[in-house]
Amino acid sequence: MYEWRKQIQIIVDEIDKCIKNYNDEALTLRALSKKLGYSQFHTTRKFKEISVMQLRDYLRSRKLAFALKEIRDSKKTILDIAFDYGFSSNEAFTRAFKNAYGVTPSEYRKNPKPIILRTKINPFDRYFLGFGEIGMIKSTDDIKIYFVTIP
């Protein structure tokens, strides 16, 4: 399992790198599983087992998180941003954005409010997953986990 967490971390890092470089060809399941040397089926199954979400859902949420930052911080048109992040049309992008964040991209640009983003998962973080360090006994008696959203 330790080795797979390391492999999934490689995929997660590769996804962010490809999104930042607008490289949609490298974001296919075929390319990601080839990078690991495993079948597409096995890669998606292990990704879901470790991250508790489908690979395609994680890809979409990360693309939308990058797009949200660009809508907020740049003057590019929403259509250009939609195409940059692999959406086929403005309507598809708007629908996905509204489903994820509850507002349309144009509404968000006019009035940016703090929104919970899908941040990069870190399956290698053993403390967050409650495993403790390797060789330690699992104990969650005195540990409280809080999620804080910072705009």
- At 19-49, the pLDDT tens digits run 888 777 777 888 888 887 888 898 888 888 8
State in Å, rounded, how far the first CA of the chain is from the last one: 34
Q: Is 137's pLDDT higher than 90?
A: no
The CA–CA distances, whole Å, from 33 to 7, 9, 113, 121, 143 equal: 10, 13, 37, 18, 36
Percent of the chain having pLDDT more than 90? 17
- Cα 74 to Cα 97: distance, rounded to the nearest angstrom: 17
Question: Over the stretch 47-91, which tens digit does the pLDDT of each residue have?
Answer: 888 777 888 888 888 889 889 889 988 889 999 999 988 888 999
Residue 71 backbone class (left: φ over 0; alpha: ψ -120 to 50; beta: rest): alpha
Whether domain 2-110 has CATH 3.30.300.30? no
Distance CA(51)–CA(124), nearest Å, equals 10
Quote the pTM value: 0.70
The pLDDT score that the predictor gives to residue 126 is: 46
